A and B are shown apart, each in its own frame.
Chain A
């Protein structure tokens, strides 16, 4: 490995609070940042409706999203020389003085009892050209999603990278001790809002995995002191038991077409191997046959091969095997411990757990040049999962006795923590892009 000596610049801990949230179990704390943030202005949105103020603070959500991305420094509202809500009122000189690169304006117009129209425009201050303009219908119930979508569109226009503010994160929490321990499978927005309990149990819940259409989660539950893999539909809450063989049923991951799961089965003899389960026919096909531990399978985005963890060489390392079978090929060589591979959706990199001089940290392996970059700095970091734009990774780390979540840019330069007041949080998995 090249000597990636990343100089972490600690900035003061920043607590972002969210207007209108009665409580939030997760809150965003920017922990580390290296690099330039582009100054932008998000002007408070206008409001045309039959109440004194808008039912939802759209521009605040956009501001927080852009701030959280690590690439932008939205200027404070108090410093703005004008607060236009339409193009005709926009004076670029007032923004050039403030040295902002882009200015974003918009308004919310009420057109019915619970019918609104949200419009926004982003302008390049230097060229004075519109970068994007868009209008979306909304109701009070969809306002937050509309705001995240607006932020996603603006982010993509400004950076060339699709935004992930409208995506979700699934994770597992554990609270209490002994017989009172309660495990919960939760889905929330990536800013910690909109938490939704998918499943709750006094027995452990593990290894959540999104279906590619983001309608379902596969997970492992130990109800009745046996490992079982379920696939649960989020909207209905219905779940199907898809694997409950003797011994271990673990580590599910959906194929890119959503029709199959790669799973780990142990059987009565307890020899963990990788299997592919066809969800329509319920047929298992065995992919590895080795007396070592083979587990943590995950599909390459092209659907043709599966990456997995195996300790056939002594310690755990990442291997790759064609879905049609064949010989497993070793992928990682650096260090004594590389496990839990997850591919970036663009197929270029593998995030994994790497033992780095006594600390378990998140590594990003470039599949082209084989460089391994360590992007986390905890002692027991685990469960990396790529954002659908391949640009960020979410993982679990420790804060005292509790697990908390962190997000890091795939280049390791920007990191933020999702702080917790809700016990031990683990196994975050980033959803696919939402369907619009």
Chain B
């Protein structure tokens, strides 16, 4: 009972303030003062007095629930087929809400020349952009930027890290 209420509380807080990423207190310790000083600081401990009941969300209820990172094969900017549904959903979000805007951030792995990698990252952003435009988003809703190898998601010099770094991140900017 207590655990499910915690999850509900977190989901509400996630919607209200985007608490994703903060460490949640261990539900096993019932000390109400052991709160993170981050996004949940204005809640009153684990008692959800005054908050009302939370609700569970459908899978695509909010764009924040969609996968926001798309990965690419080595030296490739073509989209893998298994991203088709995901990108269709993002395109629908944009088509259904003309005020909605995204920024596509293209990235490359660290190998090779830096400015050339900016080019590779941009080609990946553009591959995503083209598909979203075909699927109903309008050009004014999408901006692109390429960080090349400058903002790595993983810092190792190995294939595992390279795979995590060859990516496009979708950022909803409003």
Contact = CB atoms under 8 A, between A and B. Distances in A.
A401 B146 CA distance: 22
Nearest to A177: B155
Interface in A216-270: 222, 225-227, 246-248, 250-251, 264, 266, 268-270
Interface stretch (B22-30, B79-87, B118-126): B118-126
A295 B115 contact: yes
Nearest to B129: A270
A248 B150 CA distance: 14
Contacts of A380: 110-111, 157
B115 A250 contact: yes
Given A177-B155, A226-B145, A316 B126 contact: no
A397 to B, nearest CB: 12
Interface string A421-436: 0000011000000000
Interface string B92-122: 0000000000010100001111111011101
B114 A222 contact: no
B113 A227 contact: no
Nearest to B106: A270
Interface in B134-174: 139, 143-148, 150-151, 155-157
Contacts of B114: 206-207, 340, 382-383, 426-427
A398 B158 CA distance: 13
Contacts of A268: 139, 144
Nearest to A294: B119
A272 interface: yes
A165 interface: no
A404 interface: no
A251 B115 contact: yes
A270 B150 contact: no
A309 interface: yes
Interface SS, B side: mixed
B122 A270 contact: yes
B112 A248 contact: no
Nearest to B151: A204
Contacts of A340: 113-116
A165 B82 CA distance: 56
Interface in B20-52: none
Max chain B Cβ within 10 angstroms of own Cβ: one of A270, A311, A353, A355: A270
A33 interface: no
B105 A339 contact: no
A194 to B, nearest CB: 26
A204 B112 contact: no
B116 A225 contact: no
Contacts of B111: 360, 380
Interface in A45-75: none
B112 A247 contact: no
Contacts of A272: 118-119, 122
A340 B147 CA distance: 17
Nearest to B118: A250
Nearest to B171: A225
Contact of A222 (B110, B115, B120, B150): B150
Given A225-B103, A225-B145, A272-B122, A295 B129 contact: no
B101 to A, nearest CB: 13
B113 A353 contact: yes
Nearest to B156: A401
Given A206-B150, A225-B145, A270-B126, A360 B112 contact: yes
A380 B157 CA distance: 10
Given A247-B144, A339-B113, A382-B113, A295 B157 contact: no
A206 B115 contact: yes
Contacts of A226: 143, 145
Interface in A170-229: 177, 204, 206-207, 222, 225-227
Contacts of B115: 206-207, 250-251, 264, 295-296, 309, 340
Contacts of A427: 114
A183 B168 CA distance: 22
Nearest to A268: B139
Contacts of B151: 204
B144 A382 contact: no
B129 to A, nearest CB: 7
A264 B151 CA distance: 20
Contacts of A207: 114-115
Max chain A Cβ within 10 angstroms of own Cβ: one of B105, B148, B155: B148
A293 interface: yes
A303 B147 CA distance: 30
Interface string A269-287: 1101000000000000000
B145 A222 contact: yes
Given A248-B122, A293-B120, A339 B143 contact: no
A250 B123 CA distance: 15
B155 A270 contact: no
Contacts of A299: none
B116 A316 contact: yes
A337 interface: yes
Given A268-B144, A340-B115, 5 more contacts: A206-B148, A222-B147, A247-B122, A270-B126, A295-B118
Interface of B: 103, 105, 110-116, 118-120, 122-123, 125-126, 129, 139, 143-148, 150-151, 155-157
11 contacts: A204-B147, A227-B118, A227-B145, A247-B145, A264-B119, A266-B122, A296-B115, A316-B116, A340-B115, A398-B157, A401-B156
